[in-house]
């Protein structure tokens, strides 16, 4: 298990990375094809880039019509994936720090209980039971 100070430093680094993310969007970028007819013949047009994401039970989408929109959406989706990954790592480190702290407190309490001197009554009763 890592030392407490290294886990704490990593948590702080994660917090800084999270603060550096300025824009994010959930979802995926898919290619959409459209069926059409030209001169009476079926034609497939596309691919058109589409950003798709879920809100509750609904799947929403937005067509990305310019290369700038596509580039921004790709960056935002990548930022969202990074955000989720950092959150999972932060949660894991925080859980580990809590476990280490609880183990340390339990260990200190065990040491304290072992160092307590017995009272005169306890010493007499344990001596008489022998």
Q: Write the pLDDT tens digit of every residue in 40-68.
A: 999 999 999 999 999 999 999 999 999 99
What pLDDT sits at residue 46? 92
What pLDDT sits at residue 104? 75
Mean pLDDT for 23-51 is 95
What are the beta bridge partners of residue 41? 38
Cβ atoms of 24 and 79 within 8 Å: the answer is yes
pTM for the predicted model, two decimal places: 0.73
Mean pLDDT for 14-33 is 97
Per DSSP, the residues of 76-100 read HHHHHHHHHHHHHHHHHHHHHHHHH
């Amino acid at each position: 298990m890592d030392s407490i100070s290294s886990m704490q430093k990593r948590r702080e680094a994660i917090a800084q990375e999270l603060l550096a993310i300025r824009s994010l969007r959930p979802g995926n970028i898919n290619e959409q094809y459209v069926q059409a007819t030209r001169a009476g013949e079926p034609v497939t047009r596309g691919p058109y880039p589409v950003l798709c994401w879920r809100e509750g039970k609904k799947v929403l989408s937005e067509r990305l019509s310019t290369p700038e929109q596509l580039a921004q959406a790709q960056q935002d989706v990548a930022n969202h994936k990074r955000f989720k990954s950092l959150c999972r790592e932060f949660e894991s480190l925080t859980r580990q720090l809590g476990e280490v702290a609880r183990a340390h407190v339990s260990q200190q309490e065990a040491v304290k209980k072992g160092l307590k001197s017995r009272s005169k009554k306890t010493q007499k009763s344990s001596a008489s039971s022998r």
